[in-house]
Amino acid sequence: MAADERTVVDTQDAPKAVGPYSQGIRTGGLLFSSGQIPIDPASGTLISGPIEEQTRRVMENLRAVLEAAGTNFGGVVRTTIYLTNLSDFAKVNAVYASYFPSAPPARSTVQVAALPLGASIEIDLIAKAP
């Protein structure tokens, strides 16, 4: 891929976009993912239940986008976590940490008033992508 080339990343293993955006964009050796919420890609429905289960679904959706771009969690350099309830921070952190057992990426976590489809969590990332 040329340095100025821009490639859309799209996979059936992650939820379809709920608006006019791509699951991810590869450019300049990087992948920029759109935010993922806990939508089950098989059913297209938002999962409810414990925040740990929702976080796992979000991380698995991100894994699918990473793999479609030819990379993995080891290539992630930055994430942002959006929570509607910051008191879920410790529970989210425990699940999130299991995806980055060493050298975790830079990260911000913020509380927001609302997320698409009434989700409780959304995560986006930037990763090195070949």
Maximum CA pair distance of the chain? 44
Beta bridge partners of residue 25, listed in sequence order: 8, 32
pLDDT tens digits for range 43-84: 999 998 999 999 999 999 999 999 999 999 999 999 999 999
Position 86 scores a pLDDT of: 98
2: pLDDT confidence band, cut at 50, 70 and 90?
A: low
pTM of the predicted model over 0.85: yes
On the CB side of 55, CA atoms within 13 Å amount to: 20
Position 1 scores a pLDDT of: 54
Q: What's 6-128's CATH class?
A: alpha beta
φ, ψ for residue 9 (rounded to 5)? -105, 125
Does residue 35 register a pLDDT over 90? yes
